[in-house]
Amino acid sequence: MLRLVRVFIGLARSVDLCCLAVHSLISLVLFLLQNFFPIVVDAMISC
């Protein structure tokens, strides 16, 4: 029973880490889009 609980906690932790990684990746992509997209648009307009 205790082993099952430990396995469950381990799974929950790994899922949390996975979600955290995905979340930070999405945040990073959005951050880069916000920073570089206007520059790219400006460059395209100026061309």
DSSP code string of 1-47: -HHHHHHHHHHHHHHHHHHHHHHHHHHHHHHHHHHHHHHHHHHHHH-
Structure tokens at 25: 């990746």
**pLDDT of 41 higher than 80:** yes
**pLDDT of 1 higher than 90:** no
**Of 22, 4, 26, whose CA–CA distance to 14 is shortest?**
22
* pLDDT in the model for residue 25: 94
What's the whole-number mean pLDDT along residues 25-43? 90
Q: How many domains does the chain have?
A: 1
Sign of torsion, CA 16 19 23 25?
positive
Domain residues for the domain of 7 are 1-46
What's the whole-number mean pLDDT along residues 12-38? 90
* pLDDT in the model for residue 29: 94
Q: What is the pTM of this model?
A: 0.55
* pLDDT in the model for residue 26: 94
